[in-house]
Chains A and B, each alone.
Chain A
Amino acid sequence: DAKTTQPPSMDCAEGRAANLPCNHSTISGNEYVYWYRQIHSQGPQYIIHGLKNNETNEMASLIITEDRKSSTLILPHATLRDTAVYYCIVRAFGGATNKLIFGTGTLLAVQP
């Protein structure tokens, strides 16, 4: 599985969009980009995943560059409850093993 690089921390004002970057320059053609988040004292929570097209769900949007070497998770209107560690993970989709390899993630602090 490809490795990812994320900034260790970011701040965002409540109500503003939070844009969390992730670099995955060694991603393979069959690997998807996944995002999870972990709120304090809870287990990780799935947010969204994508291959090459931009994706949107009720939680967030995922923008993947055309060369697929980087992506951005967008929380359109951040709230205090979005304060969490956000993990960007790349792995094969539909592979034989459902293995998640977490890095250290980005601690997003939403400020009032």
Chain B
Amino acid sequence: EAGVVQSPRYKIIEKKQPVAFWCNPISGHNTLYWYLQNLGQGPELLIRYENEEAVDDSQLPKDRFSAERLKGVDSTLKIQPAELGDSAVYLCASSLGASGTYEQYFGPGTRLTVT
């Protein structure tokens, strides 16, 4: 079974430029998560989707960050414009369902460097 796929694995951009990250969850997983991980810290949840609906986006900085999951499968996380402080690893995870009985499976992440 294929795991969570993310691309690109690495991205270097200049500040004020836009950037997008793509995630393909495990087949059949209805719940999708985007996490942000700063150096030396644990991941922090940015947004959670149930199918195509964003049900928890309270930690997403909406002035510059946006996300979508149009058909309830793949998802894209965008930053526009990027700032130096956005340099971090962006992780995508998925699970069969929303409740706490389901294990989350993580992708390898996208490491973003903003110069």
Interface, chain A (partner B; CB < 8 A): 32, 41-46, 87, 91-105
Contacts and interface: CB of A to CB of B under 8 A. Distances in A.
Contact of A41 (B93, B99, B108): B108
A103 B41 CA distance: 7
B60 to A, nearest CB: 14
B46 interface: no
Interface of B: 4, 31, 40-45, 48, 56, 91, 93, 95, 97-109
Contact of B103 (A42, A46, A95): A46
A47 to B, nearest CB: 10
B4 A95 contact: no
Contact of A43 (B40, B102, B109): B109
A54 to B, nearest CB: 20
Contacts of A94: 99-101
A46 B56 CA distance: 22
Given A43-B91, A44-B106, A45-B106, A104 B40 contact: yes
Contacts of A87: 42
A94 B42 CA distance: 23
Contacts of A32: 100
A40 B104 CA distance: 18
Nearest to B55: A97
Contact of B102 (A42, A44, A98, A105): A98
